[in-house]
Amino acid sequence: MKNCTQARSGCTTRRRRALLAAMVAVLMACMTPKAFAVWPVFDAAVFSQNMIEAARLLQQIDNQIQALQNQALMLENMARNLASLNVSQLGTMVANLDQISSLMNQAQGIAFNVSATQAAFDRYYPQQYAPSVDTAQLVADAHQRWQQAMDAFGQTLTVQAQVTQNVETDTGTLGVLVDASQGAAGNLQVNQAANQLRALAIKQQLQIESLMAAQDRAVALESARDAEAEEEAQAEFTRFIGSSDAYTP
């Protein structure tokens, strides 16, 4: 009975091995096409072409990035060049010139007006007095001429004082504009600072011309007063002695 049991056991083992072999064979038969399909074929030519195209694409992307960077830099420079200067001294300069103009317009008597000057000069500085003029008229005209001369000298001193004050202000203005010019970031700021510096130079020139006009006016009135004094003396002498027929021996 023992032998029969061993025989059945061996037979069962052989059947199991055969069945296992058959199953492995079937499984291999089913898996072989798929197993071969997962291994692609390497094509060196296609790979090389793909690498060349990738390199070209990367070069195009790099060129586009460089172009964008250049455009950003250009826009930054444009913004810097169009930036306005935050410093303006034009208001101060115009105000100083307005002060000078106001003082010049306060001229009394012989003023800085062509028609008014001509009329006043003809009235108080005649080339010749009429023989009938009296002493009271001569004295009144002489006093008026003296007053005009004094007003002119007084105005000259006032204008000189205002110009001196403006020079002190201009010193500070010049420093501010120079600092702004040196710190300018773009062309527009440089040009604006330069324009203000030129405006300051023009303003100073106008101040000098105004001062010279006031001085020349005072000197001219004094010279005219001296010349008119001679005519006045001649008129007074003529009135004193009368005509050549006044004395009869």
Angle (nearest 5°) at CA 79 between 76 and 85: 135
The reported pLDDT for the residue numbered 39 is 56
Query: The whole model's pTM is what?
Result: 0.55
* 165 and 137 within one domain: yes
CA distance 129 to 127: 7
* 229 and 110 within one domain: yes
* 139 and 104 within one domain: yes
* 195 and 145 within one domain: yes
* 77 and 95 within one domain: no
Digits of tens for pLDDT over the chain (249 positions)? 444 445 445 555 665 665 555 555 555 555 444 444 455 666 777 778 888 888 888 888 888 888 888 877 777 777 776 667 777 888 888 888 888 888 888 777 677 777 877 888 888 888 777 777 787 888 888 888 888 888 888 888 888 888 888 888 888 888 888 888 887 777 878 888 888 888 888 888 888 888 888 888 888 888 888 877 777 777 766 666 655 554 455
The reported pLDDT for the residue numbered 23 is 56
* 177 and 150 within one domain: yes
Six token digits for residue 245: 């027929």
Domain that holds residue 58: 46-81
* 144 and 190 within one domain: yes
> CA dist 133 to 61, 103, 141, 191, 236, Å?
104, 36, 11, 65, 8
* 218 and 138 within one domain: yes
* 212 and 159 within one domain: yes
CA distance 1 to 35: 50
CA distance 167 to 204: 8
Residue 112 covered by a domain: yes
Residue 246 covered by a domain: no
The reported pLDDT for the residue numbered 105 is 80
CB contact set of 196 (below 8 Å; sequence gap of 6+): 87, 88, 89, 90, 177, 180
* 178 and 147 within one domain: yes
**Tokens 């103009």 found at:** 101
Number of domains making up the chain: 3
Backbone angles phi, psi at 80, to 5 degrees: -70, -40
Residue 133 covered by a domain: yes
> What would the 3-class secondary structure string for 157-182 be?
HHHHHHHHHHHHHHHHHHHHHHHHHH
The reported pLDDT for the residue numbered 15 is 58
Residue 216 covered by a domain: yes
Alpha-helical regions (H) of 38-86: 44-81
179, 185, 188, 192 alpha-carbon torsion, rounded to 10°? -10
* 106 and 202 within one domain: yes
The reported pLDDT for the residue numbered 89 is 82
